[in-house]
């Protein structure tokens, strides 16, 4: 997709997938945090006009509707801070947010404040968040540019240093691989986004490795900024341009919920992602019956790497923190692997405490009978 010139433009499939993911994630994030905090904040640096040509809602309206539902259940407050640089898009966004608010009862409108600002997101967004006391309290920041790179590392660091902040950043690697090698100004833009120059090693990589290298550098950048967990989604826009959505959090719960959201995204949207721990770097299509073959290989490697094997609980933690798969996928997979004789379990029934070892640890044992899926 070329960068749109019009005030509103048509929504393409990858945007639909992004909204699906956002809706699913915020539907978990908001109730969990509202159950524990009096006020939480959602912010966008690149909000868009709030509506697409076909009438579909933009990301701020998607988020607003989720929050209105959550605040129905919790008598708490939620603040939305929305930045948009393009004047007419900002006006359109004000209009769309006004319509979203008008659909809700007035007591809810008082508890769900919406602040639309026209202008460059940086440094206005962080200043606004600071001035409203939103930093240091639960905060989700969506930085959904056309892929830039546009986000200064210093902003990521300022956000990551706050204990309850999470970010989702859109990153398009093609700009840097196409233009930055020969153009100093473009390279500087890369340096500002990555907070250093290591990313420039991309110029020495073979063509086939360049995008993955930059993606991993960007994830490392988020971790260096202070987000202990990252997760990436790979999307192709209609022009075949690769976009990554990179999520950063310092909470295992946030990571778990984002994975749940990812595995729930409508597969017809065609979002794909790769697991960095999968040696084949296989691209997975999100499917109703997820392909867990890569997780199987990953778990087997991890089990084999320890003479004593691993408990199911350890395998679930590893799955959560080190792969794109979900802990909930582990138990059934271990049962299946045990049935096929690929691993042994002690005791036979698979629970969190069960120890899983490679068959070579107990050569006499054979496949056990399949077990009913009653424990999960």
- Paired strand residues for 170: 245
Whose CA is closest to 269, among 8, 20, 1? 20
Q: Is 146 in the site for ligand SAM (CB under 6 A)?
A: yes
Show the site string, 27-56: x = touches ligand SAM by CB under 6 A, - = not.
------------------xxxx--------
Does position 149 bind ligand SAM by CB under 6 A? no
| H-run or E-run covering 224 | helix 210-225
- Does residue 159 touch ligand SAM according to CB under 6 A? no
Task: Give me the 117-136 binding string for ligand SAM, x by CB under 6 A, dash otherwise.
Answer: ---xx---------------
Write out the two tokens for 168: 């989702």
Instruction: Specify the stretch interacting with ligand SAM by CB under 6 A; choose among 83-91, 161-169, 212-220, 235-243.
Output: 83-91
Is the separation of the CB atoms in 20 and 270 below 8 Å? no
Kindly tell me the number of DSSP H helices and DSSP E strands found in the chain. Answer: 13, 12
Residue appearing with tokens 């299509």: 285
Q: How far is the CB of 142 from ligand SAM (least distance, A)?
A: 7
Residues in binding contact with ligand SAM, number by CB under 6 A:
17
84 in contact with ligand SAM (CB under 6 A): yes
For 347, counting Cβ atoms within 10 Å of its Cβ (0-12 exposed, 13-18 middle, 19+ buried), the class is exposed
Position 59 contacts ligand SAM (CB under 6 A): yes
Written as six digits, the tokens of 342 are: 């690929």
Among 113, 132, 145, 332, which residue interacts with ligand SAM (rule: CB under 6 A)? 145
The reply to whether 9 sits near ligand SAM by the rule CB under 6 A is: no
Give, as ranges, the residues between 224 and 243 that touch ligand SAM (CB under 6 A): none
> Does residue 89 interact with ligand SAM by CB under 6 A?
yes
Query: E strand or H helix at 225, and its extent?
Result: helix 210-225
CB of 17 or CB of 214, closer to ligand SAM: 17
Query: Cα-flanking dihedrals φ and ψ of residue 252, to 5°?
Result: -60, -35
Please report where in the chains the tokens 């959550």 appear, as a residue.
70
Q: Interhelix angle for 293-304 vs 330-339, to 10°?
A: 80
247 near ligand SAM (CB under 6 A):
no
Q: What is the DSSP letter of 284?
A: E
Q: In this complex, which beta carbon is closest to ligand SAM, that of residue 170 or of residue 250?
A: 170
Sign of the alpha-carbon torsion through 60, 64, 66, 70: positive
Binding segment for ligand SAM (CB under 6 A), chosen from 140-148, 228-236, 333-341, 355-363, is: 140-148
Of 144, 158, 256, 275, which one interacts with ligand SAM (CB under 6 A)?
Answer: 144
- Could you tell me the two tokens for 115? 């602040």
Q: Applying CB under 6 A, does 316 fall inside the site for ligand SAM?
A: no
Burial class (CB in 10 A: 0-12, 13-18, 19+), 370: exposed
Q: How far is the CB of 53 from ligand SAM (least distance, A)?
A: 12
- The residue ranges that bind ligand SAM (CB under 6 A) are 15, 45-48, 58-59, 83-86, 89, 120-121, 144-146
């Amino acid at each position: 997709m070329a960068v749109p010139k019009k005030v509103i433009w048509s929504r393409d499939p990858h945007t639909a997938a992004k909204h699906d993911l956002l809706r699913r994630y915020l539907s978990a994030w908001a109730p969990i945090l509202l159950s524990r905090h009096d006020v939480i904040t959602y912010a966008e640096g690149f909000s868009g006009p709030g509506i697409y040509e076909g009438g579909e809602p933009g990301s701020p309206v998607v988020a607003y509707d989720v929050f209105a539902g959550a605040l129905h259940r919790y008598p708490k407050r939620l603040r939305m801070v929305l930045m948009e640089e393009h004047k007419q898009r900002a006006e359109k966004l004000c209009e769309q947010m006004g319509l979203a608010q008008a659909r809700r009862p007035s007591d809810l409108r008082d508890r769900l404040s919406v602040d639309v600002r026209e202008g460059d997101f940086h440094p206005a967004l962080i200043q606004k968040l600071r001035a409203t006391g939103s930093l240091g309290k639960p905060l989700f920041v969506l930085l959904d540019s056309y892929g830039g790179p546009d986000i200064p590392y210093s902003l990521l660091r300022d956000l990551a240093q706050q204990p309850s902040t999470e970010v989702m950043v859109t990153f398009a690697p093609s700009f840097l691989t196409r233009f930055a090698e020969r153009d100093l100004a473009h390279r500087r833009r890369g340096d500002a986004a990555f907070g250093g120059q290591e990313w420039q090693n991309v110029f020495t990589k073979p063509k086939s490795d360049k995008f993955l290298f930059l993606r991993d550098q960007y994830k490392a950048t988020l971790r260096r900024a202070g987000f202990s967990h990252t997760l990436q989604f790979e999307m192709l826009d209609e022009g075949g341009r690769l976009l990554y959505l990179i999520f950063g959090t310092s909470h295992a719960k946030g990571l778990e919920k984002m994975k749940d959201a990812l595995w729930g995204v409508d597969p017809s949207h065609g979002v794909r992602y790769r697991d960095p721990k999968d040696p084949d770097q296989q691209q997975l299509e999100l499917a109703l019956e997820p392909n867990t073959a890569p997780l199987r290989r990953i778990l087997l490697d991890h089990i084999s790497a320890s003479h004593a094997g691993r408990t199911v609980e350890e395998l679930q933690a590893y799955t959560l923190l080190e792969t794109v798969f979900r802990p909930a996928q582990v138990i059934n997979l271990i049962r299946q692997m045990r049935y096929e004789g690929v691993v042994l379990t002690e005791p036979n029934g698979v629970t969190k405490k069960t120890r899983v070892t490679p068959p070579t640890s107990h050569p006499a044992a054979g496949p056990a009978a399949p077990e009913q899926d009653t424990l999960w």
